[in-house]
Structure 1
Amino acid sequence: MLIAEQWVLVTGGARGLGQAITRALAREGAGVVINYHRSDQAAAALAEELGPRAFALQADVTDTAAVQKLFAQAHERTGQAISSVVNNALVSFQFDGDARPQIGDIAWQRFNEQIEGAVKGALNTLQAALPGMRAQGFGRIVNVGTNLFQNPVVPYHDYTAAKAALLSLTRTAANDLGPHGITVNMVSGGLLRSTDASSATPEAVFELIASLTPLRRVTTPAEFADAVLFFLSPWARAVTGQNLIVDGGLVKG
């Protein structure tokens, strides 16, 4: 299925990286359901800007019933099943290495919050999307990961553990869903310039990361978004269970 023929749900799609992914999809002609939790004004403004093939729906992705309702509302608006899901929503988090909790005193609650957001959120959207995808014999799920579990240059323990668990879910789900024509992949970035989550990152860190990459610069949200489009396109029809690292070549493999 061409991107322009799809309705795609982007969780956390109104701000930061999610907004870049939403814009990239709209540019390619996709219909986009912009999910948001609290960013109602940003979501409404983005939907209005992008036109009739974009609209915003509120849901906390960790709330199973709310996600089921979101899918029902989307179907009512479009008359079609959601064909692709981009799991981008991030529980409130700041990439600020100086302020991060250390391993000796970090509370389990922080791990639980990140796991709920990353893993439970993705599971909720996957399960809600599954009936429609099975009926179509087609589905694309892209989970947003991180290069930090290959290269924990800054040890954000809770965030990194949750994204590592999400990679595991990506691969096991890919195995289960492949016979139904549904692929499940991950796109993992490094530090992005800039998103809400990286707004607290000191400029010196951006400069250090840039100096270590073969491209000598920090990846942008728009560049990351283009890699997401690959997995939604026909070019990736035989690719599933993979983790594509988009960080300017900083991490290999």
Structure 2
Amino acid sequence: MSTAPHATSSTTALPLDQQIVLITGAGRGLGASLARAFLGAGARVVINYRHSAAGAEAVAAEAPDRALAVQADVCDAEAVQAMFVAARRHFAAPVTTVVNNALPDFSFNGDARPDADSLTWERLEQQFRGVNEGALNVIQAALGGMREQGFGRVINVGTNLFQNPVVPYHDYTAGKAALLSLTRTFAHDLGPDNITVNMISGGLLRTTDASSATPDEVFELIAANTPLRRVVTPDEFADAALLFAAPWSRAVTGQNLVVDGGLVKN
């Protein structure tokens, strides 16, 4: 006999200052801005990093009572599981919210990118693994705690390049496009558990480690074609993540919010 979905907690929405937020790749760049945004909103934050120990510890030191830096390669499922165990032990509660931000080694350098003739499957696979396997490991590790609480928020970081491939970064863009597909299918699968899954897609941000190789003229061109006449900063992008985690978005799932100053109309 079939049963109705168990949506008994469908209206449950935790305020930001009651959430435990795990952000991948948060030791530098956009990830550090995301961590600071959630800390500024009063959340407890797990700052994941792979190699950027000093940066992660520096962010954690800004709110030592509410932040924890934990090393883990998101492509290593066992390491990810151990990270969630450490977070729960430290905060005496499970993670409520995850932000999949970790980026495989990549530089937005149009001159160095592989073109259609030189693109290899190895380059594509590197991005698929880092972006999609990493997000999969993190989401699956979070599900037990989210279901236990009857609340969960998953926020994936995407890109506007698959809507507007102004520079054809084939490998990076394909990985993020696949992540959007997972965002929408996971939203459908996890909705009955009161877990929302959304994506925030930025354009080129000024400036992160990944965009540091981008020439000034490219930034200027983007700014000139954007309604706001400027390039979005990591801090501005991070502000949008608070929206998907906050109670105001309790009925929003499976969505892709483009945060690029209006360059791409979604």
Q: Same fold (TM over 0.5)?
A: yes
Q: Are 2:112 and 1:103 aligned?
A: no
CA RMSD of aligned residues (A): 0.5
TM-superposed deviation, 1:51: 2.1
Q: Are 2:97 and 1:51 aligned?
A: no
Tell me the SS of whatever aligns to 1:188.
strand
| Structure 2: tracts of 5 or more residues without a match | 1-13
Q: C-alpha distance in 1, partners of 2:71/2:207?
A: 24
Q: Which has the larger radius of gyration?
A: 2
- Which of 146, 160, 166 is 1:133 aligned to? 146
Taking the TM superposition and a 5 Å limit, the aligned residue runs for 1:209-228 are 209-228=222-241
TM-superposed deviation, 1:98: 1.1
- Report how many residues are paired: 253
Tell me the SS of whatever aligns to 1:186.
strand
> Where does residue 192 of structure 1 map in the other structure?
205
Q: C-alpha distance in 1, partners of 2:64/2:54?
A: 16
> Where does residue 137 of structure 2 map in the other structure?
124
Q: C-alpha distance in 1, partners of 2:175/2:69?
A: 27
Q: Are 2:164 and 1:151 aligned?
A: yes
Matched to 2:150, the amino acid is G
Moved more, 100-109 or 184-193: 100-109
> Where does residue 11 of structure 2 map in the other structure?
none
- Which of 171, 195, 220 is 1:207 aligned to? 220
> Where does residue 107 of structure 2 map in the other structure?
94
Matched to 2:222, the amino acid is I
Q: C-alpha distance in 2, partners of 1:24/1:72?
A: 24
Q: C-alpha distance in 2, partners of 1:42/1:223?
A: 20
Matched to 1:250, the amino acid is L
Q: C-alpha distance in 2, partners of 1:154/1:240?
A: 29
Moved more, 212-221 or 46-55: 46-55
Q: C-alpha distance in 1, partners of 2:159/2:62?
A: 30
Tell me the SS of whatever aligns to 2:42.
coil
Percent of aligned positions with the same letter in both sequences? Answer: 63
> Where does residue 5 of structure 2 map in the other structure?
none
TM-superposed deviation, 1:42: 1.0
> Where does residue 9 of structure 2 map in the other structure?
none
TM-superposed deviation, 1:50: 2.2
Q: Are 2:263 and 1:245 aligned?
A: no
> Where does residue 2 of structure 1 map in the other structure?
15
Q: C-alpha distance in 1, partners of 2:160/2:176?
A: 9
Q: Are 2:230 and 1:230 aligned?
A: no
Matched to 2:253, the amino acid is T
| Structure 1: tracts of 5 or more residues without a match | none
Q: C-alpha distance in 1, partners of 2:220/2:127?
A: 27
Q: Are 2:26 and 1:13 aligned?
A: yes
Q: C-alpha distance in 2, partners of 1:51/1:230?
A: 24
